[in-house]
Structure 1
Amino acid sequence: MNFKTVYLLALITVFCFSCKNNTNSNNQEKESNTTTFANSQPNIVVLLCDDLGYGDLSSFGHPIIETKNLDKLAETGIKLTDFYSTAAVCSPSRAGLLTGRSPNKAGIYDFIPGLKKSPDNRHLVHLQTQEQTIPAMLKSVGYSTCLVGKWHCSSRFNSDKQPQPDDFGFDHWMATHNNAAPSHQNPKNFVRNREKVGEIEGFSSQIIVSEAINWLDNRTDNKPFFLEVAFHEPHEPVASPEDLVQKYLPKAKNKEEAEYFANVENVDLAVGRLIEYFEKNNMDNTLIVFSSDNGPETFMRYNRAKKSYGSPGELKGMKLWTNEAGFRVPGIINWIGKDIHTGTTNKVVSALDYMPTFAELSGAKLPNRALDGESFVSLLEQGEFNREKPLIWAFYDAINAHRVALRKGDWKIMGRLVADNEELPHIHNLAESNIELVKRAELTDFVLFNLKEDISESEDLALKHPEVFEDMKTLVKSEYNELLNESHVWKREEENKKS
């Protein structure tokens, strides 16, 4: 081999080595410029109001109520204009949030009353231990977990005959079955870790935030934490600090409305206390998500609803409706200490999405079952999230006639349920006594809306967009039948069995 050949080979080797280094360098640079939040194990805080309307925060358009702390979270984080709870009423909404699955699959169709036997086996209803939840999932990867506020996922609260919050992964809990009683002021019905607490002085929103702060203060480890703060406000029976009531009296119709306005601001002040605690204690990797379990209560729907002045904003309907105001609620995401893609978005996000999102962020494995939610980590990273699965609600006790609703993209379709040529009776629970009737019911009398152009669902577009209508009609029938087939039916044989 002559010198010229050796020289050429050396040049080729140097050139190849240089190319390889440049390629590696470019790949490393690309990797370093790619932001990913996966497996960062942030602290995770779920803030959940009770019956808060879409239009009840000043950042969502309320002209009177001041919510400066929540507004700041929205301004410095992500304001979600198209955020959905998992149901139009409390108990199923909470079950869906915790499991990432339609609450119908867990057998929770309506609010859970206290223990009272009924032909539809409603007294049996509770979240069953085979349901896998967010706190249990996060515990598997080292999280400490806490619930404060409202539970409402069992007909036998604080009883060994049904599972309680600690059976679903909560290390510490202080909660009530349903509402704070006798009102938000000086409640007497809290239970802490299966022990009755007795009367607590103060207002519920502040009481539960104090409990959360005490739990955080008394932790003896440095584990990441999952904290659910389930406010009772602004659900009836409303009670608010008198100084806040006086503040709103000049702008309110009456004292009852002023009390409602003050009730919402008191939640905001409690949130402010919690945020201040995080910041003072350098909890700079804390993801916060805020929403409501459903839309606002209708004024005087029942005799104790005399202070229910919640606002649906531009939306049609109220709580218990499958129109938008039933389950479209204010949504806010903020991440203390992380640079996320901030701003207002109309991406369609649901509380069903919490479980897969938290799994991706924490490195936890998802439950070995089909979920109805999808991870929205891409929304945090790039501001993009285009859900593949449609959102469907089947609420057999809805106030409006169209009890099944589905949203896909900008479109929403709703249908009535008719069995034996009559509208399906209002049903609280699927049981042996009614399941055959429900299975015979057919979806009919559909209406179609474009929510991007018509947030108020004011114009049925079925005739104007026949191709979209036929596609959506086929889709909702298929999705509803699949949901019904997977829905839990409560049977008497479950009476004495702790599930």
Structure 2
Amino acid sequence: MKIYLRFVFSFFLVFTSCDKKVKETTVPQKPNIIIFYVDDLGYGDLSSYGAVGVSTPNVDKLAENGIKYTDAHSAAATCTPSRYSLLTGQYAFRNRARVLPGDAPLLIDTKTPTLPKMLKKAGYNTAVVGKWHLGLGNGDTNWNEEIKPGPLEIGFDYSFLLPATGDRVPTIFVENHRAINLDENDPIQISYKKPFEGVPTGKTNPEMLRYPADNQHSEAIVNGISRIGNQTGGESALWTDEDFPYIFTEKANQFIEKNKENPFFLFFSFHDIHVPRLPNKQFQGKSSMGLRGDAIVQMDWMTGQIIKKIEELNIDKNTLVIFTSDNGPVLNDGYSDKAEELLGSHKPSGPFRGGKYSAFEAGTRVPMITYWPEKIKKGESKALISQVDYYASLASLINKKLGKKEAIDSKNLEETLLNANTKGRKLMLEESFTLSLRNKNYKYITPIKNRKANKWIYGKKIESGASNEPQLYDLSKDIGEEVNIAKENKKLTKKMQSQIDSIVAISKK
């Protein structure tokens, strides 16, 4: 019997002139669902996961009163692929998903089954608030007109977005199909091909910058920070980074307030702690790690405000909360904001090797917490679980049957979401620049062929995990993936490569 909330149908007899009638006095109620999706938050970046130099009391409260996972994973080691997998229940390689430029078309085909579509069919009102980075429009977007297809075409009823990320133009908010606060007499123009004549960039005017950036992030300057891509016009619509925590939190809470009487799904996609890191003044200096640590504090505050809202509305006991990150951590990801210099003894990746972009464990092993007062069996879970599994698990939670071609890579781990003592996957794929496989405690990394395997992610001080030779690690004895045992275990290595090949072959059927 499922352990989530089920209402019992009660019947009573009503006697009228000797006639008997039976009535239902209660009806099943679907739980609200909130997914907090933090950007670039590493396994070790929360107090409850061993953070040093920063405190996250609001998220820690969720961990203390919910389930804290120690072997949970994003589907990929970078953001766009992870988001794609979470929302479609499919591995990102099936659609060749990569990190997108800011003017990319919508990555998810509007005919593709999605998590919000599935929930919407089940009676949910759905919303996405925050970072998108899954593309908008058909590829030649005029940001001054209707911007579609987008979230509304793949199942969301409401959207309030950063179109891509904070380090990419356009630096405007898009609500549903429209950029907000645009002046028709000052249209915005975007180019990822060449700069606009006479418009300052980080390359031509570095003296205008609040802190330096690498060559890739040295184009359009907005709010004293240079970005990727070129932009001109639209002055009235440009965002101020420091306003993100208040604007996104307000939009999320407005959606919750509006839908307090209905089942709702909120995909709250943080920009924090992605670069550029510009936390509001309220949070500056609240950690010992500079802007990156302060951005973590800001993220924690935002989480607390939304939890406070569902508590005030007395719907917290009918709301399943999932808190996690889109990939592992990175310190210097294009901007010199002293994240490396002020790190101290803090370990963003925890005990694991690598980070964002990497094939090693820290690329995808991230914090994950589920929280549902009085409905879940709390504790610490060692279950192996991927974000690609949320789709099938949530469908099971609400008794929604999936089609044969829907969420083909998603495994139903409903009980794993709700009970700390249940098991998860035995096999799990990890995506980066290559494919890796977990088989219980064994980790296999597919070798790079036909090109040199670079040990380091360029400019990031993160080990890539790349090799021209097969890699096999026993995580039960070697959590840091230091000793490659592939040569001594050729049979297992061959078997795990075959298992990867079988997973890949599904998309060709």
TM over 0.5: yes
Is the 1:51–1:297 contact (alpha carbons within 8 Å) kept by the matching residues of 2?
A: yes
Aligned to 1:317: 354
Instruction: Name the SS for the 1:93 alignment partner.
Output: helix
The one-letter code matched in structure 2 to 1:295 is G
Aligned to 2:262: 223
1:206 deviates by 3.0
Does 2:318 align with 1:302?
no
The one-letter code matched in structure 1 to 2:78 is V
Instruction: Name the SS for the 2:63 alignment partner.
Output: helix
| TM alignment of 1:453-468, pairs within 5 A | 453-463=477-487, 466=489
Is the 1:99–1:355 contact (alpha carbons within 8 Å) kept by the matching residues of 2?
A: yes
Aligned to 2:363: 326
- After superposition, the Cα gap between the structure-2 partners of 1:381 and 1:175, relative to the gap in structure 1 and judged at 3 Å, is closer
Among 90, 111, 114, the alignment partner of 1:133 is 114
- After superposition, the Cα gap between the structure-2 partners of 1:200 and 1:409, relative to the gap in structure 1 and judged at 3 Å, is same
Deviation per residue, 1:278-306 (Å, 9 max, x gap): 1110102100001111111242x534565
Among 130, 134, 144, the alignment partner of 1:149 is 130
- After superposition, the Cα gap between the structure-2 partners of 1:323 and 1:262, relative to the gap in structure 1 and judged at 3 Å, is same
Instruction: Name the SS for the 1:211 alignment partner.
Output: helix
C-alpha separation between the residues in 2 aligned to 1:36 and 1:321?
36
C-alpha separation between the residues in 1 aligned to 2:506 and 2:401?
26
Deviation per residue, 1:424-457 (Å, 9 max, x gap): 899xxxxxxxxxxxxxxxx962121122332211
Instruction: Name the SS for the 2:297 alignment partner.
Output: helix
Stretches of structure 2 lacking an aligned partner (at least 5 in a row): 7-27, 181-236, 456-466
Aligned to 2:34: 45
- After superposition, the Cα gap between the structure-2 partners of 1:483 and 1:385, relative to the gap in structure 1 and judged at 3 Å, is farther
1:203 deviates by 2.9
Instruction: Name the SS for the 2:285 alignment partner.
Output: helix
Is the 1:357–1:375 contact (alpha carbons within 8 Å) kept by the matching residues of 2?
A: yes
C-alpha separation between the residues in 2 aligned to 1:475 and 1:348?
17
Is the 2:354–2:362 contact (alpha carbons within 8 Å) kept by the matching residues of 1?
A: yes
Is the 1:92–1:111 contact (alpha carbons within 8 Å) kept by the matching residues of 2?
A: yes
Aligned to 1:177: 163
Aligned to 2:286: 247
- After superposition, the Cα gap between the structure-2 partners of 1:416 and 1:173, relative to the gap in structure 1 and judged at 3 Å, is same
Does 2:153 align with 1:164?
no
C-alpha separation between the residues in 1 aligned to 2:474 and 2:303?
35
C-alpha separation between the residues in 1 aligned to 2:78 and 2:505?
19
How many residues align structurally?
408
C-alpha separation between the residues in 2 aligned to 1:237 and 1:389?
38
Is the 1:106–1:487 contact (alpha carbons within 8 Å) kept by the matching residues of 2?
A: no
Does 2:389 align with 1:353?
yes
C-alpha separation between the residues in 2 aligned to 1:205 and 1:475?
43
Deviation per residue, 1:255-287 (Å, 9 max, x gap): xx4111111011101111111111110102100
Does 2:401 align with 1:365?
yes
1:348 deviates by 0.6
Among 76, 83, 87, the alignment partner of 1:87 is 76
1:193 deviates by 0.8
Aligned to 2:302: 270
Is the 1:40–1:362 contact (alpha carbons within 8 Å) kept by the matching residues of 2?
A: no
Deviation per residue, 1:449-491 (Å, 9 max, x gap): 1223322112223355x2xx52343232342364167279xxx
Cα RMSD for the two superposed structures: 2.9
Is the 2:108–2:154 contact (alpha carbons within 8 Å) kept by the matching residues of 1?
A: no
% of aligned pairs identical? 30
TM-score (norm 2): 0.73
1:307 deviates by 3.9
C-alpha separation between the residues in 2 aligned to 1:381 and 1:260?
32
Aligned to 1:439: none
**Structure (1 or 2) with the greater helix fraction:** 1
Q: Structure 1 residues 477-486 or 341-350, which shifts more?
A: 477-486
1:395 deviates by 3.1
Stretches of structure 1 lacking an aligned partner (at least 5 in a row): 1-30, 116-122, 397-402, 427-442, 489-499
Deviation per residue, 1:320-348 (Å, 9 max, x gap): 00101111111111013x33111111111
1:70 deviates by 0.3
Is the 1:35–1:381 contact (alpha carbons within 8 Å) kept by the matching residues of 2?
A: yes
TM-score (norm 1): 0.75
C-alpha separation between the residues in 1 aligned to 2:436 and 2:68?
24
C-alpha separation between the residues in 2 aligned to 1:321 and 1:349?
18
The one-letter code matched in structure 1 to 2:173 is F
C-alpha separation between the residues in 2 aligned to 1:487 and 1:203?
45
| TM alignment of 1:345-424, pairs within 5 A | 345-369=381-405, 371-388=408-425, 390-396=427-433, 403-419=434-450, 422-423=451-452
- After superposition, the Cα gap between the structure-2 partners of 1:35 and 1:325, relative to the gap in structure 1 and judged at 3 Å, is closer
The one-letter code matched in structure 1 to 2:160 is M
